[in-house]
Amino acid sequence: MSKSDLIIVGSGILGLATAFRAHQQGRRVHVIDRSARPVGSSIQNFGHACFTGQADAAQDLAMKSRAGWREVAAATGIWAAETGSFIPAMTEPELLILQEFADHRGPDQATMLSAEEVAAAIGNPSLGAIGGAHLPLDMRVDPREAAPAIADWLAREGVGFTWNTTVTEVAGGTVSTNRGDVHGEQVVVCPGYQLTSLFPRIAETHGVRICSLVMSLIERPQQTPTGFAMLTGTSLARYDGFAAMPGASALRKDLAQQEPELVDVIANLMVTDIADGLLIGDSHAYDLSPEPFIDERVADLLLNRATNILGIDAPVVRQRWLGRYADSTETNLILERPDEQTTVAVVTSGIGMTLSFGIADRILGGETVATGTRPAPHSSPLTPTAGEVVMSDR
Ligand SMILES: Cc1cc2nc3c(=O)[nH]c(=O)nc-3n(C[C@H](O)[C@H](O)[C@H](O)COP(=O)(O)OP(=O)(O)OC[C@H]3O[C@@H](n4cnc5c(N)ncnc54)[C@H](O)[C@@H]3O)c2cc1C
């Protein structure tokens, strides 16, 4: 391999978004991954780009990322639905927080829906909601298609890819791998939750651990519209944009009383569709070395609640899996420069699909981010040193 302008470690969405932007800038880019194709967090998720639910201060970053997703979709031809997200309000506290959010952000970002409108939007006439909202700016991609297709497109455009190669050390433009050393002017390291093995000290400083999420894929009944994305009350308690509303504490109290089991498994109950069916999840469990087992009670709980809302009586489960992403007790973005030529970038929260293209711009702009403090257990602003980055967990 000849010397590259930029070597990127990791072919997940963050590495690929960075490769896409750097390629647009005319730089010679080479991507190295230990896998044979992208199989990390970036294919395990909902494909939900939840721009609107991010905190007010992250809206600039979110909108830049949205522009990036639209550009990459136009370039590569990947499916990218601009159908937004629907949120049925099943209780008064949910309706209140949606109304507060819609008043706060205005109709470009959130429109209130009647009970009948939200029932029609999610394809369940017997829903029994008391209202709802539509967030028109949110986007959807198929996570199983997006990263592999972007990698293929970049390879056809001349970006180099070395697969099945594990990077063991990065310093001063030298990338040491289990197949020998390679050199680049700059190196960007995006290893996701595997940061712990490549830069253990950075991982330890930020309290990086792995978040495991129970997910299912079910057959999509005809009544559920395509390009479908639904958030629920637990999502309203989790994303910083909604959680900043005055009604958030009443909502949390109500959820604790009405849905203790969902609260217990730290659920963010949501559903999106892909060509293969409906993606249903998720719960959150945190560990440095998580076990691989899926707790059937958790999977059933999420399936049951989601299909109740969707009016699906006999769901046909096609797949279950335990997704994983990097999490941190301290921050939701690690963006550090251990030396002049090396940048380490890891999204330590469940928002990497949403913000990847915005973060890629910041990586290439040479920005860094300091550790911030998480104000609440499941939402997490961070304090930047350059640029206001406040991002919302999901
Ligand atoms: C179940 C689930 C649901 C989610 N839902 C959403 C959602 O709806 N919206 C959203 O925005 N985000 C969501 N996320 C989070 C999102 O998927 C992640 O934040 C994002 O995919 C992280 O991308 P990445 O490129 O950093 O990591 P990854 O996709 O994990 O990629 C890292 C890559 O680095 C490679 N690598 C690691 N170490 C080395 C090494 N030493 N040498 C060579 N290669 C290496 C790996 O092989 C891997 O390919 C979800 C995540 C999960 C698991």
pLDDT at 57 over 60: yes
Q: Containing domain of residue 125, as a range?
A: 85-136+209-327
Residue 389 forms part of a structural domain: no
Q: What is the number of other CB atoms lying within 10 angstroms of the CB of residue 254?
A: 18
Residue 10 alpha carbon, nearest atom of ligand 1:
34
Whether the pLDDT of residue 378 is over 80: the answer is no
Q: In the predicted model, is pLDDT for residue 345 greater than 90? A: yes
Counting ligand 1 atoms within 8 A of each CB, the residue from 325, 328, 351, 380 with the most, and so the one to mutate, is: 325
Do 132 and 36 lie in one domain? The reply is no
The answer to whether residues 189 and 248 belong to one domain is: no
Q: How far is the CA of 325 from the centre of ligand 1 (A)?
A: 6
Q: Do residues 186 and 4 lie in contact, with contact meaning Cβ atoms separated by under 8 Å?
A: no
pLDDT value at residue 368: 83
What is the arithmetic mean of pLDDT over 43-69? Answer: 97
Tell me which of 304, 327, 350 is where a domain ends. Answer: 327
Helix axes 59-76, 352-364, angle to 10 degrees: 90
Looking at ligand 1, which residue's alpha carbon is closest to its atom 19?
352
pLDDT interval class at 1 (50, 70, 90): low
- 352 has a pLDDT exceeding 60: yes
Going by the DSSP 8-state scheme, the letter that residue 58 receives in this structure is G
- Taking only the tens place, the pLDDT of each residue in 182-207 is 999 999 999 999 999 999 999 999 99
Residue 382 lies in a domain: no
CA of 212 to the centre of ligand 1 (A): 12
C-alpha 18 to ligand 1 mean position (Å)? 14
Domain endpoint, select from 282, 300, 327: 327
Query: Whole-number mean pLDDT of the chain?
Result: 93
* Ligand 1 near 132 CB (within 6 A): no
Given pLDDT bands bounded at 50, 70 and 90, which one contains residue 243? very high
- 370 lies in some domain: no
Six-digit token pair at 43? 């294919």
Residue 344 lies in a domain: yes
Confirm or reject: Cβ of 215 under 6 Å from ligand 1.
yes
| pLDDT tops 80 at residue 308 | yes
Does the beta carbon of 332 lie inside 6 Å of ligand 1? no
Residue 11 alpha carbon to ligand 1 centre in Å: 9
Domain total for the chain?
2
Does residue 371 lie within any of the structural domains?
no
Say whether both 112 and 225 belong to one domain.
yes
* Minimum mean pLDDT range among 178-187, 214-223, 321-330, 367-376: 367-376
Decide whether any atom of ligand 1 lies within 6 Å of the 351 Cβ. yes
In a domain, 224, yes or no: yes
pLDDT band at residue 382, thresholds of 50, 70 and 90? very low
Same domain for 43 and 61? yes
Tens of pLDDT, residue by residue over 211-241, are: 999 999 999 999 999 889 999 999 999 999 9
Say how far apart CA 348 and CA 330 lie, in whole Å: 9
| Ligand 1 nearest atom to the CA of residue 321, by list position | 1
Same domain, 302 and 220: yes
Residue 374 domain flag:
no
- Which residues fall within 8 angstroms of residue 43, CB to CB, at 6 or more apart? 143, 144, 147, 148
